[in-house]
């Protein structure tokens, strides 16, 4: 097949807007059918087959994809698939010979399908009797899509709120339990707290070592090296006795000798918090009496 290039008026959609401009059109003929595609898309495997109207203008309607690489070039380069390629060429060109655009669009209207802007303009010019139906089909389709998107958005937001509520409820429970265990002198296992800051899903889930969380919560500044030991090697800690277990690595068998200083500060803050809590409850009971 001989491929020719010519400049022609082409109706197409660019940046979601309908445009008609001069374009380079690549044209080949096979089985008495003109195979016209945009030259600028020549390197793609699947391309849009351009429809030529009675005014010799071309339309990229978005409804006629073809495998252009099977129409151009020497089919002998595909010797193992030569019959398959030939059958594809015959099937496609026979289909285009019999194409009935109006019937195709009437079927789309009956099925309530989407019409792009290029299709609508073509229909407006050459099949005005079905234009309003096609336009309404497009509007209804978009309305349904938007409604479904809104429903999906609401459902997604509902699930996100539920995730935040569930995660933060677990976090608050673990935080209370940890503080109470510190107060009564139980050994605290080192684990991560998971929570959403400000109860907002958009902020992303925060994962933080429980001891380091308490230090930050109470405004206790722990050196980076000590934070690293707590975060990576500390296994558990008893705030009452100061006893703890930690992981021994090949590189470092030592533990943080200064850690106890900062963790005692946490203990004092927890005890202070509980004293205030007991004091408040005592005052409330006095008022009731």
Token digits of residue 193: 């707290």
103 has a pLDDT exceeding 60: yes
Q: Any idea which residue has 């399908």 for tokens?
A: 113
Q: Indicate the number of domains in the chain.
A: 2
Half-sphere exposure of 241 (CA within 13 A, CB side): 11
123 conformational bin, left if phi > 0, alpha if psi -120 to 50, beta if neither:
alpha
DSSP 3-state of 262: helix
pLDDT in tens, 121-168: 999 999 999 999 999 999 999 999 999 999 999 999 999 999 999 999
Q: Which of 75, 99, 123 represents a domain boundary (last residue)?
A: 99
Helix (H) or strand (E) run with residue 264 in it: helix 259-288
pLDDT score for 3: 80
> Is 116 among the domain residues?
no
In a domain, 17, yes or no: yes
The CA distances from residue 193 to 135, 172, 176, 178, 266, in Å, are 55, 9, 12, 11, 17
**Range(s) of the domain holding residue 269:** 165-288
Last-in-domain residue among 61, 83, 99: 99
Task: For residues 174 and 257, state if they share a domain.
Answer: yes
Helices (H), 111-205: 117-126, 131-184
Q: How many other C-beta atoms lie within 10 A of the C-beta of residue 229?
A: 20
Task: Say whether pLDDT at 253 is over 90.
Answer: no
Instruction: Dig out the tokens for 9 from the structure.
Output: 């008026």
Chosen domain end from 99, 116, 139: 99
Convert 30-47 to b/e letters by CB count within 10 Å (16 or more is b).
Answer: eeebebbbbeeeeeeeeb
- 154 φ, ψ (degrees, to nearest 5): -65, -40
62-80 pLDDT, tens digit each: 998 888 878 776 555 555 5
């Amino acid at each position: 097949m001989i491929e020719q290039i010519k400049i022609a008026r082409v109706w197409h959609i660019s940046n979601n807007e309908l445009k008609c401009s001069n374009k380079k059109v690549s044209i080949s003929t096979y089985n008495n059918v003109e195979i016209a595609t945009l030259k600028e898309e020549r390197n793609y495997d699947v391309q849009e087959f351009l429809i030529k109207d009675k005014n010799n203008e071309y339309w990229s309607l978005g409804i006629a994809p073809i495998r252009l690489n099977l129409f151009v070039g020497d089919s002998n380069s595909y010797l193992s698939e030569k019959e398959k390629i030939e059958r594809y060429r015959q099937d496609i060109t026979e289909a285009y010979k019999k194409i009935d655009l109006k019937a195709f669009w009437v079927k789309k209207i009956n099925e309530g399908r989407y019409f792009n802007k290029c299709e609508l303009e073509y229909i407006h010019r050459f099949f005005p009797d079905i234009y309003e139906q096609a336009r309404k089909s497009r509007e209804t389709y978009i309305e349904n899509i938007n409604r479904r998107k809104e429903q999906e958005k609401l459902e997604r937001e509902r699930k996100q709120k539920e995730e935040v509520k569930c995660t933060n409820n677990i976090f608050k429970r673990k935080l209370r339990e940890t503080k109470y265990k510190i107060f009564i002198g139980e050994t605290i296992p080192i684990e991560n707290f998971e929570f959403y800051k400000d109860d907002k899903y958009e902020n992303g889930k925060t994962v933080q070592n429980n001891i380091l969380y308490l230090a930050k919560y109470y405004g206790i500044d722990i050196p980076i090296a000590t934070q690293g030991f707590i975060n990576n090697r500390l296994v558990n800690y008893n705030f009452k006795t100061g006893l703890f277990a930690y992981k021994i690595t090949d590189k470092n068998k030592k533990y943080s000798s200064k850690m106890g200083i900062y963790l005692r500060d946490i203990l004092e803050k927890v005890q202070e918090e509980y004293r205030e809590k007991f004091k408040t409850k005592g005052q409330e009971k006095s008022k009731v009496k």
